[in-house]
Structure formats: C-alpha cells, structure tokens
Amino acid sequence: MTPTLLFIIFLSLALLFGFLNGFHDSANIVATMISSRAISPTTALIIVGIAEFLGPFLLGSAVAKTIGADIAVAQAITISVVMAALISASTWNLVTWYFGIPSSSSHALFGGIIGAVIIGYGVDSLQQGGIFKISLALFSSPLIGFALGTIVMKLTLWLAQGATPKANIFFKKIQIPTAVALALSHGGNDAQKTMGMIVMGLVALGYQSTFYMPVWVIAASAAAMAIGTATGGWRIIHTLGGKFYRIRPIHSFSSQFTSGIVIFSASIFGGPVSTTQIVSSAIVGVGAAERKSQVRWGVMSEILVAWVLTIPVAAVIGALVYLPIQHFLNI
C-alpha cells in the first residue's frame, strides 16, 4: 500500500469517527429542548451544528494533547494502533446508536486505544499518569453532573417559586443560548478527540515530528463533528428526551446549564469527558431534585450497563482489529 493511500484511509477513518461522534452525541445537546418543545428539531440541530463547528477554535487543544500524548508511550503510537482504535470506537458508536443506547464515544475511543496498545506493545507501554488523568475525568464528571444538576434545579425552583405559567415561555427562550453554550463546550471537547487521533496518525506516518495542531486538522475535525450533529441521532434523542421522565422547559434549561458548565471546565483543563454521561446524569439529577419518584430509574440502570461495558468491549474490538491491520501493513 502506498503512503498516500494509507494516509487517505487513515484520515477517512478519523473523520468518520468524528462524524459518528457528532451524530451519536447530537441527542445530548438537543433532546431536552426538542422534548420540551422549545424549538423545532431541524432548527435545533442546525443551530447546534454551527456552534459545534466553532467550539474547537474557541477552546484550544488541551484535550487533543491528552488523548494524543498521555495514554501510551510514543513508540506504541503506530498507525495500526490509531486505525484500530478508530474502527473500534466507530463500531461501538454504530451498535449503540442502532439500539438507541446513549453510550460514551470517549469511553469507546479510550478503550480502543488501550486494547490496541496492549495487544501490540504490552501493558507496560501504557502511561499510568495519563490513564489515571483520563479515567478520573471520565468517571468523576457524571457524578459532578448529577450533583450540580440537583443543585441547579433546586436553586431554579426556589427562584421561580410563585411564578405564573408564563415562566415556561422564559424557560423555552433561554434554552437557545444555553444550548448554544453547551454545543460550543461539546464541540470544544469532543472534536478534540478526533483532532488528537489525526495528529497521532500524522506523527506515526512521519508527516509531523512533534505533537502540534495544524489549522486544517482543527477545521476538518470540527466540520465532521458539526455535520454529524446536524444529521442527528434520532434513536438516542428519543431516549434522552422522554424515557427518563416528562421533560418540561425548566428541566431542559437546568440540565443544559449544568452540562455546559461541567464540559466547559473539563475542556479548559484538558479532561476528555463523556458528554453522554454528563448530560444523562444532569437530566436525572434535575428530575430527582424536583421529585425522585418521577425518574424512571430502570432506564438509567440500562444506560449504566452500557457505560460499564463500553471500555472493555471497545478494548477487545481494538485488540482484535489491530492484529489483521498490523499483518496487512507488514505484508
């Protein structure tokens, strides 16, 4: 295989992952505002898609550097590892989308990289400090989302006590800026994962000698994410928008505000977090703050099962895919 053809295949896989990430995660941004009838589905997806594109340009590349340089030692970051991780994460995204399960693209990518590195270079090639940093961000952020969602909802209910039904009009309108802010944060965090993978591949293929972020990589990753978001994953929108409980404008505003704060903060500090987990946890925290009995906890337990399975399953897929890729490239 010629170097040019290999580069084209690798870049296509990376942008496909970015598209599927946006397609899969669009539900996280628009589900509650669509369910609360604040805005039409098409308009919501277009507005959010534009904001998703701008996010990576506004929030820097700290997350991309974490993904690209902190998981494994440089010698283990080969093009076979990168491609195997991308295929693993994209496969898991498609499977969970088909079944309408809000799973984590971040967990899937993390698992895919780990599986491919271990099968190719051994456990010692993983960087414990980086693994700990990423794990801490991934597993603590949903708990923070739940807790902060509860606090925000209680505060919002306190501020809105005695309000007339017209307050719903206010909460519907204010969802547009909060959704834009959430989309900017999401694009700034999740598009960086595609950016990090592309730069990993560029270094592995010898197109770059160091880990730096070309403008075209930012633009391509942002575009893939934005197009995927604008396309929309309707199966998961249905799950997040209605299966937890009947979402009203006050719930949508509170969960969007909460999620945006958590994701933005993580992006600034370079923590690759799961938007799916944060938004789902925030929705549940917001609902529980008003009345615990209204939350369908069985739906949350089903999602938790997917969260638990994502990293190990993606790691296995990454390991299995790595072997034929490595064999083929060595022929």
Domain ranges (residues) in the chain? 3-330
Average pLDDT over residues 19-30: 76
| pLDDT band with cut points at 50, 70 and 90 for residue 240 | low
299 compared with 50, residue with greater pLDDT: 50
Secondary structure percentages of the chain, helix, strand, coil, to 5: 80, 0, 15
| Mean residue pLDDT across the chain | 85
pLDDT at position 239 over 60:
no
Residue 275, class by beta-carbon neighbours within 10 Å (0-12 exposed, 13-18 middle, 19+ buried)? Answer: buried
Specify the pLDDT at position 234: 58
170-209 per-position pLDDT tens digit = 888 888 888 888 888 888 888 888 998 999 999 989 898 8
Most confident of 26-35, 145-154, 208-217, 270-279: 145-154
Residue 222 has which token pair?
Answer: 């942002």
Which three-class secondary structure state does DSSP give residue 207?
coil
pLDDT in tens, 106-120: 889 999 999 999 999
Tell which wins on pLDDT, 125 or 51.
125
